[in-house]
Chains A and B, each alone.
Chain A
Amino acid sequence: MKIFALSILIFWLLAVLIGQVLGLQANTIDLNAILDTPSAQNWLGADDLGRDILARILEGIQVSFFVAIVVTVITMLVGVTVGLLAGFYGGKVDAFLMKITDIFLAFPGILLAIAFVAVLGAGIGNLVLALCITGWVSYARLARGQTLSLRNRQHVLAAESLGATVPRLLVKHILPLLGSILMVEATYSLASVMIAEASLSFLGLGIQAPNASWGAMLRDGVRYMLVAPHYVLVVGLSLMSLILAINLGGDYLRDKMDVRTEAN
């Protein structure tokens, strides 16, 4: 499984690099090649504007990864800070912060992100913003739970009685113990942010034309499914292979670091 997941990731990395070296053009329109099936010129065929599907897939993966990493880093920073504070102080601070996360959790899945992008307007900046606004909650919950159980550990109490300040206690004595569990969570969240980005782009709310995005390509693929079924198939397979590889990587990290988390 580990080798399987790793080889998919390496495959995509190499594909992107080779694409860069070959200088594949993702936005060149060729009206003679509209919805062409795979050929020597367009290895995976062409889309509804005659653009090379392979080049667009390779551009889409970079956009998708970029969004996933930015969102994961920001949500982790915000969420972990909130969680550490809530777990450390307890009492009213905790009750207040957790009430806020409860409200966010009352919106199922990506509904809230859809709502935010709907009012903020489509586009990559607002997409990242919406995914950040809704994504920090799971980190906050996770970090709070862990901090609650670490708060009264001997080494934390010892440091506290030696006069360590609160930021020092949180950063030097509690945060390092959260490292592995956060890393596993971050891996899964990479995959879920990529799905969320694709979902929003599929609905026309994410990355805008002419930039390539797997979600938007899937939407076009569905639209032209009757005449060019290869379009939706190759984009879908690409997305699935990547999500699967990342999730398997998450499973591997989880088993290796021996942490128990809700994998969803």
Chain B
Amino acid sequence: MFRQILSIVSVIFGVLLLTFLLIHLVPGDPIEVMLGESASMADREALRVDLGLNQSLPSQFSSYLNKLVHLDLGHSIHTKQPIIELIKTRYPATLKLAFLSLLIGLSIGIPLGVYAALKAGHWQDIVVTIISVRLSAMPAFWLGPILMLVFAVWLGWLPVSGMESRNSIILPAVTLGFGLSAILTRMTRTSLLEVLNDDYIRTARAKGLSERTVIIRHALRAALLPIITIVGLQMGSLLAGTVITETIFSWDGIGRLLVESIEKRDYPVTQACVLIIALSYVVVNLLTDVLYRFADPRVKLN
């Protein structure tokens, strides 16, 4: 456990270092890129001091860390707002979207995977497998527009974009959730098929348990373990996917904030968004690890 904490701390440190260095990769003078050539000398110097770019790299990094500890992410260059305020208003929207997508992914993926595994080799299995391969070949910037076209433009059932209506979340969440469900379907199928041949499943059947109980209580429980790991890993693409999906559907989350900040060359905001998304991923993976230990009594905390 200690080694693991140490490893996570060092990864977080590396993530901080890499995001910190981002701003130094800007070709030329980042101040000039951000303010434009017309900015006055005084404005430039003020921003340079504000961002600490006049100090040495190590002292810049230590003050960066120091500010982070005090939840100070700096100010937006354009709106002068504290970045932490921007994050506070945008982050919950992304969390809501990610959570609903996960729910959609799980509620489609697992039943479909179980169905495919039970019908393994039959045509139903082949159809499900082809559909899930096909869906995973549909990136968000293709599935999103199609859903928008069909359900918002042609059928007019749901809002095209924005966040005004309560139904606004449905299309972006389905866009993200579908990709996830495709991977979960394949994973559930493989993992369940492996378990179904085990001795204890035969024992459960021999005891005369109903097929339903055998599958749900005995087989699926064991098959869920690799699924937990996959969900954790997929949360990464889900978080990255929000960048595109939020842009398509004008969903005011952190992904859209990132894209907007890039367009405006508001580097401190870009830096903060990248950091927050990466840290969320690290935390999700940590939670997955803990969840895994709870789900599998064989994995001891050592």
Chain A 84-109 against B: per-residue CB contact (8 Å), 1 yes, 0 no?
Answer: 00000000000000011011001111
B26 near A103 with CB under 8 A, answer no
Q: Of the candidates A100, A215, A247, which one forms a contact with B141 in the assembled complex, judged by CB atoms under 8 Å apart? A: A215
B240 near A99 with CB under 8 A, answer no
Stretch touching chain A among B11-19, B87-95, B213-221: B11-19
A119 near B22 with CB under 8 A, answer yes
In the assembled complex, the CB of A35 is this many whole angstroms from the nearest CB of chain B, namely 15
Stretch touching chain A among B53-61, B100-108, B113-121, B241-249: B241-249
Stretch touching chain B among A50-58, A72-80, A149-157, A235-243: A235-243
Chain A CB within 10 Å — which of B139, B149, B153 has the most? B139
Q: Of the candidates A103, A114, A198, A205, which one forms a contact with B139 in the assembled complex, judged by CB atoms under 8 Å apart? A: A198
Q: Of the candidates B134, B138, B153, B236, which one forms a contact with A225 in the assembled complex, judged by CB atoms under 8 Å apart? A: B153
Q: How far is the CA of A98 from the CA of B199 in the complex (A)?
A: 38
Q: How far is the CA of A153 from the CA of B137 in the complex (A)?
A: 38
The B18-32 residues at the A interface (CB cut-off 8 A) are 18-19, 22-23, 25-27
B141 near A102 with CB under 8 A, answer no
A111 near B277 with CB under 8 A, answer yes
The B141-193 residues at the A interface (CB cut-off 8 A) are 141-142, 144-146, 148-149, 153, 183
Q: For A247, give the chain B residue with the smallest CB separation.
A: B137
- In the complex, whether B10 has a CB less than 8 A from a CB of chain A is yes
Contacts of B282 in A (CB 8 A): 106
A residues near B (Cβ < 8 Å) are 99-100, 102-103, 106-112, 114-116, 118-121, 191, 195, 198-199, 202-205, 215, 218-219, 221-222, 225-226, 229, 232-233, 236, 239-240, 243-244, 247-248, 251, 264
Contacts of A222 in B (CB 8 A): 141, 144-145, 148, 248
In the assembled complex, the CB of B91 is this many whole angstroms from the nearest CB of chain A, namely 15
- In the complex, whether B66 has a CB less than 8 A from a CB of chain A is no
With A108-B281, A226-B153 given, is the CB distance from A115 to B240 under 8 Å? no
With A103-B14, A103-B15, A203-B259 given, is the CB distance from A109 to B137 under 8 Å? no
Q: For A122, give the chain B residue with the smallest CB separation.
A: B262
With A121-B27, A225-B145 given, is the CB distance from A114 to B133 under 8 Å? no
Classify chain B: how many residues form its interface, as a range: 35 or more
10 of the cross-chain contacts (CB-CB < 8 Å) are A99-B14, A108-B237, A108-B238, A108-B278, A109-B239, A118-B262, A203-B247, A222-B148, A229-B149, A247-B136
Shortest 9 CB-CB contacts between residues of A and residues of B: A109-B240, A108-B236, A103-B14, A236-B142, A118-B262, A244-B137, A108-B281, A108-B240, A243-B137
In the assembled complex, the CB of A63 is this many whole angstroms from the nearest CB of chain B, namely 17
A225 near B149 with CB under 8 A, answer yes
The B270-296 residues at the A interface (CB cut-off 8 A) are 270, 274, 277-278, 281-282
The B225-244 residues at the A interface (CB cut-off 8 A) are 233, 235-241, 243-244
- In the complex, whether B251 has a CB less than 8 A from a CB of chain A is no
Contacts of B258 in A (CB 8 A): 114
In the assembled complex, the CB of B8 is this many whole angstroms from the nearest CB of chain A, namely 9
Number of A-B residue pairs, CB cutoff 8 Å, is 134
B153 near A103 with CB under 8 A, answer no
Q: How far is the CA of A225 from the CA of B241 in the complex (A)?
A: 21
B138 near A221 with CB under 8 A, answer no
- In the complex, whether B198 has a CB less than 8 A from a CB of chain A is no
Q: Of the candidates A205, A232, A240, A244, which one forms a contact with B262 in the assembled complex, judged by CB atoms under 8 Å apart? A: A205
Q: For B187, give the chain A residue with the smallest CB separation.
A: A264
Contacts of A225 in B (CB 8 A): 145, 148-149, 153
Q: For B24, give the chain A residue with the smallest CB separation.
A: A119
Q: How far is the CA of A199 from the CA of B248 in the complex (A)?
A: 11
Known: A118-B267, A119-B26. 17 other contacts (CB 8 A): A99-B14, A102-B14, A103-B11, A106-B12, A109-B236, A111-B274, A114-B258, A114-B262, A116-B25, A119-B23, A120-B27, A202-B244, A203-B247, A222-B141, A225-B149, A243-B137, A244-B137
Contacts of B11 in A (CB 8 A): 99, 102-103, 106
B22 near A115 with CB under 8 A, answer yes
Q: Of the candidates B14, B25, B133, B236, which one forms a contact with A247 in the assembled complex, judged by CB atoms under 8 Å apart? A: B133
Contacts of B263 in A (CB 8 A): 204
With A108-B278, A198-B141 given, is the CB distance from A248 to B133 under 8 Å? yes
Q: How far is the CA of A120 from the CA of B239 in the complex (A)?
A: 23
